[in-house]
């Protein structure tokens, strides 16, 4: 008996099945794989955004703590290490996202070089046009191989007045980077050379803004492929439903059956279609112009 391909209920006790062509099964398998690659990219992007949220939240939390209970300067050093860890998490997860974006995009758009090129060019465009993006990328390498990415914190001047603003401002010291001698020279030239420090909050907001633009390009260029995948899954479900109109399709799968009757490489039609439709219709928060946003309360 030759290898065959079916739409069938993937549950014990059901014999309901519709034989399909090898090409139809291959299309479903490809659509399933493409969607999984998209979800992997979304996972890495979401982890990066959550790490960034923890970085900003830690700053606000400590500013409120200072407002209620101004602590000794030693507490600022503990906070510097905490924010360095938070920032390292953002930079590392962003690097994972960027390093794997090309691989996933090629798996999704292997036969569409024009759309693929637009995704692959998006990080280069941000690097060329956004100095904060260049600094964050160089800082990630510095944090991985040389030292913590937060050199110090600016806080309120206790002696200035009794009515004062409470804030925490992590910074990077270009002079420290020059002493180290390993920081990317081209990026270092763009930093102040007069003893002025670089505040990291606006740098990171601009970096996340740039990553958002890269991710928007990914979503835009892969959406037509996902819409086609949804059509393929829906067509397969309808094809099964035409022959078994009274059966639900919650456990419907497309699968290969070998000569011994063993199943392999199941594509779960209903489950993937549900996830895919939710993805295509989901409303996501916009990070556009994040670099220009401020927190006030």
**Model pLDDT for residues 217-230, shown as the tens digit of each residue:** 999 999 999 999 99
- Among 95-99, 100-104, 163-167, 200-204, the minimum mean pLDDT is found in 163-167
74 compared with 174, residue with greater pLDDT: 174
Nearest to 16 by CA among 233, 234, 239, 231: 239
pLDDT band at 286 (very low <50, low <70, confident <90, very high): confident
Enter the tokens of residue 12.
Answer: 């014990």
pLDDT digits (tens, 9 = 90+) for 152-162: 998 765 544 45
Mean pLDDT, residues 182-211 taken together: 95
Enter the tokens of residue 138.
Answer: 């160089």
Nearest to 118 by CA among 208, 220, 225: 220
Give the count of beta carbons closer than 10 Å to the beta carbon of residue 257.
18
Q: Look at residue 48 in the predicted model and tell me its pLDDT.
A: 97
pLDDT band at 17 (very low <50, low <70, confident <90, very high): very high
The structure tokens 């549950």 sit at 11
Average predicted confidence (pLDDT) for the chain: 90
- Per domain, the residue ranges of the chain are 4-292
Ranges assigned E (strand) in 66-163: 152-154
In whole angstroms, give the CA distance from residue 19 to residue 6: 4
Q: Look at residue 161 in the predicted model and tell me its pLDDT.
A: 47
Phi first, then psi: what are they for 105, rounded to 5°?
-65, -40
pLDDT digits (tens, 9 = 90+) for 112-137: 999 999 999 999 999 999 999 999 99
Are the beta carbons of 254 and 25 closer than 8 angstroms? yes
Give the count of beta carbons closer than 10 Å to the beta carbon of residue 194.
6
Q: Look at residue 284 in the predicted model and tell me its pLDDT.
A: 78
17-20 and 4-9 as β-strands: parallel, antiparallel, unpaired? antiparallel
Q: Is the pLDDT of residue 6 over 80?
A: yes
Mean pLDDT, residues 83-105 taken together: 97
Cα 172–Cα 173–Cα 178 angle in degrees, nearest 5: 125
14 compared with 252, residue with greater pLDDT: 252
Q: Look at residue 194 in the predicted model and tell me its pLDDT.
A: 86
Walk across the sheet containing 263-268 and list its strands.
17-20, 4-9, 252-257, 263-268
Contacts for 8-12: CB closer than 8 Å, 24+ residues apart: 8/252, 8/253, 8/255, 9/247, 9/251, 9/252, 9/253, 10/251, 10/252, 10/253, 10/255, 10/263, 10/266, 10/268, 11/251
- Among 68-72, 224-228, 289-293, the minimum mean pLDDT is found in 68-72
Are the beta carbons of 219 and 192 closer than 8 angstroms? no
Are the beta carbons of 107 and 36 closer than 8 angstroms? no
Give CA separation, 163 vs 66, 67, 72, 91, 157, in Å. Answer: 13, 11, 19, 36, 11
Helix (H, G, I), strand (E, B) or coil at 215: helix
Helix (H, G, I), strand (E, B) or coil at 105: helix
Percent of the chain with pLDDT over 70: 94
In whole angstroms, give the CA distance from residue 288 to residue 28: 35
Q: Look at residue 164 in the predicted model and tell me its pLDDT.
A: 65
């Amino acid at each position: 008996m030759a290898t065959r391909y079916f739409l069938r209920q993937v549950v014990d006790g059901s014999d309901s099945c519709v034989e399909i062509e090898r090409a139809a099964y291959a299309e479903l398998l490809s659509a399933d794989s493409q969607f999984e690659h998209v979800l992997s990219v979304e996972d890495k992007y979401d982890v990066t955004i959550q790490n960034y949220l923890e970085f900003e939240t830690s700053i606000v939390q400590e500013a409120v703590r200072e407002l209620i209970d101004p602590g000794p300067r030693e507490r600022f050093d503990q906070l510097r290490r905490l924010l360095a860890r938070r920032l390292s998490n953002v930079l590392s997860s962003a690097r994972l996202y960027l390093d794997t974006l090309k691989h996933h995009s090629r798996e999704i758009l292997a036969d569409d070089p024009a759309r693929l090129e637009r995704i692959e060019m998006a990080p280069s465009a941000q690097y060329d046009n956004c100095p904060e993006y260049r600094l964050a990328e160089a800082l990630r390498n510095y944090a991985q191989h040389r030292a913590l990415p937060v050199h110090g914190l600016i806080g309120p001047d206790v002696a200035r007045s009794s009515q004062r603003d409470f804030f925490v401002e992590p910074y990077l010291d270009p002079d420290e980077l020059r002493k180290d001698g390993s920081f990317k020279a081209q990026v270092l030239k763009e930093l102040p050379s007069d003893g002025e420090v670089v505040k990291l909050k606006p740098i990171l907001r601009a970096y996340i803004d740039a990553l958002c633009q890269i991710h928007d390009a990914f979503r835009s260029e892969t959406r037509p492929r996902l819409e086609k995948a949804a059509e393929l899954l829906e067509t397969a479900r309808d094809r099964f439903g035409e022959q078994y109109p009274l059966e639900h399709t919650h456990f419907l799968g497309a699968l290969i059956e070998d000569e011994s009757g063993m199943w392999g490489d199941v594509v779960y039609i209903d489950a993937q279609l549900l996830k895919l439709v939710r993805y295509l219709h989901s409303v996501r928060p916009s990070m556009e112009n994040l670099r220009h946003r401020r927190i006030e309360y």
